[in-house]
Amino acid sequence: MILSPHDTDFSYLSNRLDWTPKVALVSGIDGMAQATRCSVGELFDSEGRSFPLRQEMILRLYPPRDTSSWRVLSESLGTDVVGRGKTTEEAVNDWRHRFRATVERYLELRPFELSEEEQEVWSRLQLLIDIPRYKAKPMKVRQVGRVLRHRRDSSVTVVEWESGARERVNRESFDEKFGQFRIGQRFEAVVTRFPGTFKIERADAVRKLDIDQEKVSEAGKAIWEHLQSKVEKFADANSTPELDEKFWLE
Amino acid sequence: MELKKSPLIEIWMSFRFDPGESPGKWDGARFNKLWKTLKDEYPNRQELRQQSIRVGTKKKSGDPVFKGFLDEIIAQRVISENELRVVQLRPDELIVNYVKGATEPYPGFESLLDVAAARCQSYFECYQPAGIVQTALHYVDIVEIPIESGQIRTGDYFTFDVRAPDSWTFGTFRLQTTLCPADSKEIIEVVFATEPGKTESGNARFRLEWHIASKSEDRMTIEQAKAALSNFHASLGKCFRQAFTEKGWALFEPQS
């Protein structure tokens, strides 16, 4: 067999196969029999969100030989990400840190910014991580609206947002108090929405709003102007000859 | 024959026990029993836990009822300070690992076998099983091969091979097979594969795994298990040598 080492980057292809040993005791304890092999559970980004993995991530640990540190590689990524540490724990943590940094770096780059080699690494990472799912992180938005109707036969409340859009929301996603808001009550809510469907996942906070002062003052102004014009018209219609100021002063 | 540059990276021996007629429940206290006797040598402990939800049914309606969470230990392993020695425990199973590293010279198979037998003895003292029903020996080797003129002809180094059309070149491969060597009664499972990434010195790496387990389900004593493991070691030693060509064997710098 002739092996072309330039192509060893395709290692992830061969490792997709799950090895199920045929001899009873060979497997020992799943994921534990080999001390030089371990499975990583969840992997998180710097904000604490987990990367959705498409397959189990198996790490290979290499004990210190020429150097004094343990080396950790993932079966799927090979030397793209290497962790080092004086202990296995340190090396695995270092690997986690480097993995996170690598993924986040690639996430920030546009496809045209990647070199050919980087594109290959990025393809391998995408085979491991469900990037569209990772990117589809819920959005948090602040919205102002008013209650139009509570449906008593279900947990649905119809609201009208400031934009004029009407939406049926599930009261159970909101605070308990929300169900007690009167019809017409204005409120402000911080809601988490799914980016794909823009549906509300949950309301993180909701509070009643006082009467809209701006609208009140606008309405008041309009009423005042209206009244003023009425008064002027009335005054014109019932005008009396000008009085001698002196008369009044006396 | 001693190898100056041995490719061995890990060796482990496993024992499966017959729990006897009244096996105890494997809870945290039972797992810790063995660790307490090994604590000085293996101060670090890790547990493999499994969380599950218990669901029952209502008697009358048959509707599902939530009965609570179950958090149980399914395996435990204890690790030496230098992280090169590990003892793993699962209900009715004991595994004793050794990882070859720079911080401790390789003590040799006989010494490791004595350690494994001593751990087995501790298991007997803690859990009183009726006997050993199976034992197995496992080796993992990482073989580094220098890349010459951009390619490696594996046939120059290994007697194992994968055939493919002449015009094809392999990127990576993983060969897993069960073999029965001519002079062995036992079946040996071998994994021959490329290992991710090149080394810092630019060598390509290959992984060889050797697994051999006893077939007999007859109860064994520790001494019998030791004898079986010694035989396995001898068998695997022969297979290991036969797996390499002279050129491949020379990589390990054998010392006569």
Q: The complex's ipTM?
A: 0.77
Nearest beta carbon to residue B75 from set A32, A75, A77: A32
CB-CB neighbors (< 8 A) of B161 in chain A: 1
Give tens-digit pLDDT for B153-185: 888 999 988 777 878 777 788 888 888 877 777
List average pLDDT for each run of 10 residues in chain A, which is 250 residues long.
44 28 37 76 79 87 83 86 90 92 90 89 90 82 90 90 91 88 91 81 88 66 77 67 44
Measured between beta carbons, the chain A residues lying within 8 angstroms of B97 are 33-35
- Please, how many CA atoms are within 13 Å of residue A103, restricted to the half-sphere of its CB? 25
Min Cα separation A26/chain B (Å) = 6
| Sheet with strand B64-79: strands edge to edge | B44-57, B64-79, B85-90, B93-99, B8-18, B131-145, B204-213, B188-194, B174-179
Phi, psi of A136 (to 5 degrees): -75, 50
Partner A contacted by B179 (CB < 8 A): no
**Sequential DSSP letters for A222-250:** HHHHHHHHHHHHHHHHT--PPPPHHHHH-
Tell me the one-letter amino acid at B227: A
With a cut of 50, list the residues of chain B below it in pLDDT: none
What's the count of helices (H) and strands (E) in chain A, helices before strands? 6, 10
Find which of B4, B47, B76, B83 to mutate to test the A interface (most A CBs within 10 Å of its CB).
B83
Structure tokens at A73: 């590689």
**C-alpha span between A4 and A191 (Å, rounded):** 54
Strands of A42-138, DSSP E:
57-62, 70-74, 78-85
A26–B211: do the CB atoms touch at under 8 Å? yes
Specify the residue for token string 């080492």.
A5
Of A7, A64, A78, which has the smallest distance from its Cβ to B197's Cβ?
A: A78
Q: Which of A190, A157, A193, A155 is nearest to A172 (CA)?
A: A155
Q: Which of B88, B134, B153 sits opposite A32 (nearest CB)?
A: B88
Contact check, Cβ <8 Å, A79/B196: yes
Task: State which residue of chain A sits closest to B78, comparing Cα positions.
Answer: A35
Q: Which residue intervals of chain B are DSSP H helices?
A: 28-38, 109-127, 222-242, 246-250
Are the Cβ atoms of A17 and B173 closer than 8 angstroms?
Answer: no
Please identify among residues 79-138 of chain A the ones whose CB lies closer than 8 Å to any CB of chain B.
79, 82, 87-88
Is A11 close to B103, i.e. CB distance below 8 A? no
Rounded to a whole number, what is the largest CA-CA distance in chain A? Answer: 126
A78 in contact with chain B, both atoms CB, cutoff 8 A? yes
Provide the 10 A C-beta neighbour count for residue B236. Answer: 23
Chain A residue with CA closest to B137: the answer is: A26
Task: Mark yes or no for CB contact B172/A10 under 8 Å.
Answer: yes
- Residue A245 has a pLDDT of 45
B198: nearest Cα among A9, A90, A152, A143: A9
What is the SS3 assignment for A104? helix
3-state secondary structure of A133: helix
pTM of the model: 0.70
A39 vs B: CB within 8 A = no
Asked if A74 has any chain B CB less than 8 Å from its own CB, the reply is yes
Q: Would you state the pLDDT for residue B199?
A: 61
Contact A62 B142 (CB under 8 A): yes
pLDDT of residue A77: 86
Q: What is the C-alpha separation between A146 and A206, in angstroms, rounded?
A: 12
Alpha helices in B39-136 (DSSP H): 109-127
Residue B191 touches chain A, beta carbons under 8 Å: yes
pLDDT at A28: 41
Instruction: Quote the tokens at residue A214.
Output: 């701006």
The predicted pLDDT at position B65 comes to 84
**Chain A residues close to B198, C-beta within 8 Å:** 5, 8, 79
